[in-house]
Amino acid sequence: MTISDATANAHVFDATADNFEAEVLQKSMQVPVLVDFWAEWCGPCKTLGPILEKLAADYHGAFRLAKVDVDKEQQLAGAFQVRSIPTVFLVKDGQLVDGFPGALPEGQLREFLTHHGIQPADAAADDAAAPEAEVAPVDPHAEVVRLRHESGAAPDNAELKLDLALALLRTGAAQEAEQLLDALPANLATDDRTIRARSRLGFAALLKDAPPAEVLEAAIASNPDDLRARHLLGALKIVDGDAQAGLEQFLEMLRRDKAYEDGLPRKALIDAFRVVEDEDLVGQYRRKMSSLLF
C-alpha cells in the first residue's frame, strides 16, 4: 500500500493534522468519513486498505476514506487513542460515531456501512459534471394518493411505505407518517430518508404545546438569552417552511451558549440540516456552525 495508491481514488485521501478539521470533521457534515489508521509495515493494513479503497470506489462518494499513516501522524493517532492498527473510525456530522480494530472481510465492512445508513450511491451521482435535470414540483397530496394506491397493491413493499410516510409528512399528517416509520424493517430504519423524517417528526412533537410565533418572538425581544424560546421559534419556522429563519435561531443559540442543555443548539442545527431540502442553504449554515464550533 502506498500513498499514491491511496490518492488514486477520488474518494480516498491522506488525512493529516493540518487538514483533519477541514477534510474530515467539516466534510463529515456533508458525507460520512471513514478514518483508516495504518502503516507501511503493518501486514493486516495491506489486507484491509485495498478493500476499503475498493468500497470507496464502489459506493461512488456515499462515504469518503481518510488514510492516516500513524508513523507520520502520531498526533492524530494519539488523539484517537489508537492502540493497534489497522483501526477504523466512522465520523458523521462532526462526531466519531463508531469504529473497529483489525482487518474485517468485505462482507462485514458492507454490513458496518449499512448499519450506519451508508448505501452505494448511483454511479451517475459520481459524475460532478453531469447536468441536473429540472424536476417539476410534485403536489404532495396527489403523491399521497398515488403512493397509497401503489402500497395497497404491494403491501409487502417496505420502500413504498417509506415513500408514503415521507409524502404524508409533507402534507402535515405526522401521526400516520410516524406509524408507518415505526413499522419499517430494520434495513430501512437507518435509511437517510427515515432519519430525515424522524427529525421532522421531532420538530413537530416539540411544537405540540408550543406558544404561537408572536409570543415566542416577544419573549426573545425582551430577553435575547431565552434559548428555549429561540429553540421553539426555530422549530416553528422550519416546520412552516421558513428554513433560513429557523436555522438562524438555532445558530444564534449556538453563538450564545454552545453547551445549553447538553449541546442542544448543535443538535437542533444537525436535525434541521436533515430536514431542509435547500442544499445551498444547508451548506451555508454548516459552514457557519463549523466556524463557531472549531
- Looking at residue 12, its pLDDT comes to 93
Q: Quick check: 70 pLDDT over 80?
A: yes
- The mean pLDDT value for 185-198 works out to 84
Q: Cell 478493500 sits at which residue?
A: 51
Residue 2: pLDDT band (50, 70, 90) is very low
Q: Quick check: 126 pLDDT over 80?
A: no
- The mean pLDDT value for 173-177 works out to 84
- The mean pLDDT value for 83-99 works out to 91
**Whether the Cβ atoms of residue 121 and residue 32 lie closer than 8 Å to each other:** no
- From the list 15, 25, 33, 42, the catalytic residue is 42
The pTM (predicted TM-score) of the whole model is 0.48
Q: Cell 480494530 sits at which residue?
A: 101
Active site residue 42: yes
**Whether the Cβ atoms of residue 290 and residue 264 lie closer than 8 Å to each other:** no
- Looking at residue 137, its pLDDT comes to 56
Q: Quick check: 4 pLDDT over 50?
A: no
- Looking at residue 138, its pLDDT comes to 61
**Whether the Cβ atoms of residue 197 and residue 189 lie closer than 8 Å to each other:** no
- Looking at residue 41, its pLDDT comes to 94
Active site residue 45: yes
**Whether the Cβ atoms of residue 9 and residue 59 lie closer than 8 Å to each other:** no
Which residue would you say has higher pLDDT here, 127 or 96? Answer: 96
- From the list 24, 25, 33, 45, the catalytic residue is 45
